[in-house]
């Protein structure tokens, strides 16, 4: 007799999944908790500082900083989908997540991850326009155009995530329920489905993999064009362009490299994949504020002015 559905879309008796996490060693788990707590704190504080600085500074009103503000917001949301649950599991004996919570986490990871991909692509187009088509820059990258790019990024992320989530949630899970990962992702869940998942795997690779690979290819081509065009600029112009582009290229490599590695191929080694996933879910969002701050004089100057105003206002009140 067939098992009665216990959750919407889940034609099985599986009500919750067990997340294996990064390690079963208690000592390693405690060390990981402290390390990732520091990472997550730096991530949230650094990205919040970027958002506050850009919103408070009149100098940082160009499209690049408009996109940077949204990138920082997405980075906070992206890490918050996985990091708090992972850190809580380091301290808990029972590392379970409900079927509904697992589906919600799957949606959140792909929603914010794909949105970040599209925002990074929009930032690359902004740099291409500023350097290669400076006379048309103001017309092409006006506030309405930038706002449309951000809206399209959010909608694109939502559509991508909806496809991934619906494909996975409708599969029957008959057990076992152990997920060899620290969060619910498509590949680990497909390994647990008690049906043939070949078609779903192909769609997942075509959806996630091709978005990552095609966006990465567009980014590489755009920066090759930018670097070639810099030969006709002055040394000061090249230095300034390379400073802003260098930060963006570093972020792109840190995010797209591991992300493309995970989703462009059939997953055969889940233990390897979950450590690679740390780079694009935890480490890259944490490093983004540091990269954009340390390599960007305008952001550093705006932060110093903001800090100076805050200190000055406190002294005035005292």
pLDDT digits (tens, 9 = 90+) for 235-288: 777 777 777 777 788 888 888 888 888 888 776 666 788 889 999 999 999 998
Q: Are 47 and 289 in contact (CB under 8 A)?
A: yes
Query: Over the stretch 149-190, which tens digit does the pLDDT of each residue have?
Result: 999 999 999 999 999 999 999 889 887 788 989 999 998 999
**In angstroms, rounded to a whole number, what is the distance separating the alpha carbons of residues 115 and 101?**
21
Q: CB count, 10 Å around CB of 253?
A: 14
pLDDT at position 2 over 90: no
Q: Please give the pLDDT value at position 13.
A: 63
Coil, helix or strand at residue 273? helix
- Segment 97-123 shows an average pLDDT of 94
Q: Please give the pLDDT value at position 225.
A: 87
Domain annotation for the chain: domains and CATH numbers: 17-298 (1.20.1070.10)
**Is the torsion defined by CA of 211, 54, 253, 42 positive or negative?**
negative
**In angstroms, rounded to a whole number, what is the distance separating the alpha carbons of residues 255 and 5?**
38
pTM listed for this prediction? 0.88
- Segment 83-87 shows an average pLDDT of 95
Report helix, strand and coil shares of the chain as percent, to nearest 5: 75, 5, 20
| Gyration radius (Cα) of the chain, Å | 22
Highest-confidence segment of 39-53, 215-229, 232-246: 39-53
Q: Please give the pLDDT value at position 46.
A: 93
Q: Please give the pLDDT value at position 108.
A: 97
The helix-helix angle for 26-56 and 297-317 (nearest 10°) equals 80
Sheet strands side by side (includes 178-179):
96-98, 16-19, 178-179
**In angstroms, rounded to a whole number, what is the distance separating the alpha carbons of residues 261 and 212?**
9
Q: CB count, 10 Å around CB of 143?
A: 10
- Segment 56-62 shows an average pLDDT of 86
User: Which residues, 6 or more positions from 65, have their beta carbon under 8 angstroms from its beta carbon?
Assistant: 54, 299
- Chain centre to alpha carbon of residue 174: 31
Query: Which of 18 and 263 is assigned the larger pLDDT?
Result: 18
Q: Are 292 and 250 in contact (CB under 8 A)?
A: no
**In angstroms, rounded to a whole number, what is the distance separating the alpha carbons of residues 309 and 316?**
10
The first and second tokens of residue 57, run together, are: 């500074």
The helix-helix angle for 284-294 and 26-56 (nearest 10°) equals 40
CA distances from 69 to 54, 65, 128, 246, 283 (A): 7, 6, 19, 18, 18
Query: Helices (DSSP H) in 57-98: which residue ranges?
Result: 63-91
Q: CB count, 10 Å around CB of 98?
A: 12
Of the listed ranges 49-58, 91-100, 192-201, 261-270, the one predicted with least confidence: 261-270
User: Which residues, 6 or more positions from 71, have their beta carbon under 8 angstroms from its beta carbon?
Assistant: 116, 119, 120, 123, 288
């Amino acid at each position: 007799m067939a098992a009665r559905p216990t959750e919407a879309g889940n034609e099985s008796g599986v009500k919750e999944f067990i997340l294996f996490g990064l390690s079963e060693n208690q000592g390693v788990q405690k060390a990981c908790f402290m390390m990732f707590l520091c990472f997550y704190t730096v991530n949230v504080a650094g990205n919040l500082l970027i958002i506050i600085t850009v919103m408070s500074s009149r100098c940082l009103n160009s499209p690049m900083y408009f996109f940077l503000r949204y990138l920082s917001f997405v980075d906070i949301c992206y890490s918050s989908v996985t990091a708090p649950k992972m850190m809580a599991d380091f301290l808990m004996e029972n590392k379970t997540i409900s079927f509904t919570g697992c589906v919600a986490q799957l949606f959140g990871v792909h929603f914010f991850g794909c949105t970040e991909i599209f925002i990074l692509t929009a930032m690359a187009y902004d740099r291409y326009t500023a350097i290669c088509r400076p006379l048309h820059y103001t017309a092409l990258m006006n506030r309405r155009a930038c706002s449309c790019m951000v809206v399209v990024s959010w909608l694109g992320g939502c559509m991508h995530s909806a496809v991934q989530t619906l494909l996975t949630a409708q599969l029957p899970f008959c057990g076992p329920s152990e997920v060899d990962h620290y969060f619910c992702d498509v590949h680990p869940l497909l390994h647990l489905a008690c049906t043939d998942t070949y078609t779903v795997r192909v769609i997942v690779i075509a959806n996630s993999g091709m978005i990552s690979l095609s966006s990465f290819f567009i980014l590489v081509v755009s920066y090759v064009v930018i670097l070639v065009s810099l030969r006709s600029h002055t040394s000061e112009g090249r230095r300034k362009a390379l400073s802003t582009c260098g930060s963006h290229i570093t972020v792109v490599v840190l995010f797209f490299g591991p992300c493309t590695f995970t989703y462009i191929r059939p997953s055969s080694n889940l233990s390897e994949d979950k450590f690679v996933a740390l780079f694009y879910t935890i480490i890259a969002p944490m490093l983004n504020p540091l990269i954009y701050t340390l390599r960007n004089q305008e952001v550093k100057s705006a932060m110093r002015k903001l800090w100076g105003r805050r200190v000055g206002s406190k002294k005035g009140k005292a």
